[in-house]
Amino acid sequence: MFSLIGVGMVDSRQETFRTLFDAHYPAVFGYLRRRVADVEDAEELAADVFRLAWEKQDPRSPFQRAWLFRVAANRLTDWYRRQGLRRDVEAALRCRLEEAASRIGVEDSVAVRDAVRALPFREQEALQLTYWDGMSASEIAAVLDCSTAAVWTLLSRARARLRAMLGEPSLEGSAK
């Protein structure tokens, strides 16, 4: 008897989601596509919107179109931030490598590796998922089972600790 109730709830949940998806995916995708140049990026963002809708849905109170668009706008903001940060980090790294090409040695590489290893595990994970794996703050939050705000805090602390360990000047008060 219990398993039949569970099956009915799953069917209802799937039907509610299918109805939501069929009714609103084209509009959400179109909204994202108009704001993102690459079709694959727009598809990934739309998939993320509907993944969140699946996770949070309640068949008794289905989401409305406005909620989906709000989630899409939030995902776009995060995507733009990630693109900007990635561009800034890549430019800074390129500049630093060009300036220091002649003086970068094994000792510097080892110092950076050791500094990263000295960070608390969650800060290491946040850095690696951001810079090595290219994940957004919301994706990292899902991996680390924390809020997006907590991810930004972990990244800020990790960067500050790395600067301190490597003898770099603090970025406080400078424009980011």
Model confidence pLDDT, tens digit, residues 43-64: 999 999 999 998 888 777 777 8
Q: Could you tell me how many residues make up the chain?
A: 176
Angstrom distance (rounded) from CA 11 to CA 19 = 12
**Stated pTM of the model:** 0.47
Please say whether the dihedral angle defined by the alpha carbons of residues 16, 72, 127 and 170, taken in this order, is positive or negative.
Answer: negative
Q: Which two tokens stand for residue 176?
A: 């980011």
CA 40-33-18 angle, to 5 degrees, is: 80
Angstrom distance (rounded) from CA 100 to CA 143 = 35
- Looking at residue 174, what is its pLDDT? 47
Q: Which residues of the chain have pLDDT under 70?
A: 1-10, 85-86, 88-109, 169-176
Q: Which residue has the tokens 């000295």?
A: 118
- Looking at residue 123, what is its pLDDT? 92
- Looking at residue 84, what is its pLDDT? 77
- Looking at residue 163, what is its pLDDT? 85
Q: What is the DSSP letter of 36?
A: -
Cα–Cα distance list, 42 to 21, 67, 142 (Å):
16, 18, 20
